[in-house]
Amino acid sequence: MAHESVSGDELFLRKLVDATYLNGRLWGHTSHENEDNLAHSIYVTPFKEQVSEPYASAITDVVSGERSVSSIVKPTYWLWNGHGFHPMERNEASVFTLELAQRLLDHYTVLDGRTYQYLFSVLDTGRNSVHFFLEEVDL
């Protein structure tokens, strides 16, 4: 993929998410590196080559079908129901990059007394969104 100049906050998020939706395509992250802390590279492959079914198709459908655009980067949550992902309603105020990063580093979250496992995360730069794909678990 071609090199692109992005802000430090966006670069930080790009390195933490599992994939990026860019120019109408979903790219799975394989690794990232930097050269002298100046030139940063993120290596990607087509998403469906990296994630197994049924998740790959369901995630691609959600991200490519999403239409809302935010003026700031915001989290959106999607819950696995055994067949696909459906939106979870979360009323959150604006979220800062560090707060998003903390969520991207977690494996589980408890929301309204229920425990969820983070399955995948996707940064959608065109819509200023980080998509979190969750599945309810019983720990």
Q: What is the pLDDT of residues 71-130, one digit of tens each?
A: 778 899 999 999 999 999 876 666 788 888 999 999 999 988 999 999 999 999 888 889
Q: pLDDT per residue over 34-83, tens digit each?
A: 677 777 677 778 888 778 888 999 999 999 887 778 777 889 999 999 99
CA-based nearest residue to 119, from 8, 17, 49 = 17
Q: The whole model's pTM is what?
A: 0.84
Place of tokens 């940064």: 123
8 A C-beta contact, residue 109 and residue 134: yes
